[in-house]
Amino acid sequence: MYIGSRHNAADHLKTAVLHGFAYAVVDVPLVIADGLKGQNLREVPVPGNHFKSVKIAGDIIDADSMVVLTHVKGHALSGFGGAIKNLAMGCAPPLGKRDQHQGMQAEINESECVGCGYCVTQCPFGAISMGIKASVDRSICYGCSACLQVCPEEAIDFNWKRDVPRFLERMVEYASGAVAGKEGKVLYLSILTGITPDCDCVPWSDTPIVPDIGFLASTDPVAIDAAAVDLINQQRGNEHSSLHSHHEPGADKFSGLWEKVDGLHLISYAHEFGLGSRNYTLIEL
Ligand code: SF4
Ligand code: SF4
């Protein structure tokens, strides 16, 4: 769905190999699960508040079991990115990613826009046009947030209170579709090292927000995300990271990064929805 080198399976495979996921390195074949152009998908029924069915990549459905490997980090739209987000976005084809973002709409603050035009080049849907200032066609915008992240004047925003909680809920419903029919056959491994402020898909990085913690394993996507957030919050924040507050142990690091997002709503909704349980017992090895 996004601008960049993951538009189709061929480019995606090249990107993966450049990042070290070649067959010769990992000793398993790499399959882009939604096909060459993202059209290999199936509708999976879910008992959702937002969706009655979700679109999941065909080869995910056909897989007998899954190991969901997640690098935990911050995220501009969801506060943090963990196993639930990985299932939701990672197992959805472009149309499924659009479903999840739908309803979020970029708004441009005209008084802050300097008319540089950069956002126009970064919108994957051609939703932004230029006069003296930029403007968004709300009938085309799918709320992918690419423009928010690149505007040098921070002139673009979402309605965070209204739209973002629903976006988090839609991700949970998609995550449930990704694991439907695989009860007891999914293992989650989460990596809590190099915990950077923003998503791994952005073309920049930054100092980790807390020291490295280690690895988590679970059969429950909600428990593993809840444990990851708790372990991160227990750390003292790195003074030289982009945490602008909440450095002390026990404070919510992700709201110290992305103050407009309540990322914990993802975990609460996933617990209520029955994707898993936010309660866990941590066994240290
Ligand atoms: S990137 Fe920002 S400043 Fe530049 S045209 Fe777009 S909204 Fe305006
Ligand atoms: S959020 Fe911005 S970049 Fe994404 S579709 Fe809307 S206008 Fe385009």
Q: Which of 121, 136, 157 is where one domain is finished?
A: 157
| Residue 120 covered by a domain | yes
Phi, psi of 128 (to 5 degrees): -110, 135
What gap in Å lies between CA 35 and CA 159, rounded to an integer? 34
- 180 and 195, same structural domain? yes
Q: Which of 130, 157, 184 is where one domain is finished?
A: 157
- 172 and 243, same structural domain? yes
Q: Are 44 and 53 in contact (CB under 8 A)?
A: yes
| Residue 9 covered by a domain | no
- 252 and 111, same structural domain? no
Number of structural domains in the chain: 2
Q: Is 142 in the pocket of ligand 2 (CB under 6 A)?
A: yes
Q: Is 136 in the pocket of ligand 1 (CB under 6 A)?
A: no
> For residue 84, which of 244, 285, 271, 279 has the smallest C-alpha distance?
271
| Residue 267 covered by a domain | yes
Q: Are strands 53-57 and 41-45 parallel, antiparallel or unpaired?
A: antiparallel
pLDDT of amino acid 245: 83
Q: Are strands 128-130 and 134-136 parallel, antiparallel or unpaired?
A: antiparallel
| Residue 51 covered by a domain | yes
- 241 and 116, same structural domain? no
Q: Is 127 in the pocket of ligand 1 (CB under 6 A)?
A: no
| Residue 210 in tokens | 């807390």
| Residue 133 in tokens | 């200032």
Average pLDDT per run of 10 along the chain, which is 285 residues long? 80 92 92 95 97 98 97 93 97 95 90 96 92 93 88 93 93 98 97 94 89 98 98 95 89 90 95 98 97
Q: How far is CA 6 from CA 31, 87, 98, 253, in A?
A: 13, 17, 15, 30
- 72 and 127, same structural domain? no
Range of the domain at 171: 33-103+160-273
Which residue CA neighbors atom 1 of ligand 2 most closely?
Answer: 143
| Residue 16 covered by a domain | no
What gap in Å lies between CA 190 and CA 123, rounded to an integer? 31
Phi, psi of 244 (to 5 degrees): -100, -5
- 248 and 167, same structural domain? yes
pLDDT of amino acid 169: 97
- 219 and 133, same structural domain? no
| Residue 121 covered by a domain | yes
pLDDT of amino acid 133: 95
CB burial readout 43-70, b (16+ within 10 A) else e:
ebebebebbeebbbbbebbebeebebeb
pLDDT of amino acid 59: 98
pLDDT of amino acid 55: 98
Q: Note the pTM of the prediction, 2 decimals.
A: 0.91
Q: Is 125 in the pocket of ligand 2 (CB under 6 A)?
A: yes
pLDDT of amino acid 124: 86
- 119 and 198, same structural domain? no
| Residue 28 covered by a domain | no
Which residue CA neighbors atom 3 of ligand 1 most closely?
Answer: 113
- 263 and 205, same structural domain? yes
| Residue 232 covered by a domain | yes
What gap in Å lies between CA 6 and CA 29, rounded to an integer? 18
What gap in Å lies between CA 190 and CA 104, rounded to an integer? 28
pLDDT of amino acid 125: 87
pLDDT of amino acid 26: 92
Give bridge partners of residue 79 from the DSSP assignment: 75
Question: What is the separation of C-alpha 252 from the centre of its chain, rounded to a whole number of angstroms?
Answer: 19
Q: How far is the CA of 143 from the centre of ligand 1 (A)?
A: 16
- 255 and 177, same structural domain? yes
- 173 and 55, same structural domain? yes
Number of Cα atoms under 13 Å in the Cβ half of residue 58? 8
- Provide the phi-psi class of 181: left if phi over 0, else alpha when psi is between -120 and 50, else beta: left
Q: Which of 126, 157, 188 is where one domain is finished?
A: 157
CATH number assigned to the domain comprising residue 132: 3.30.70.20
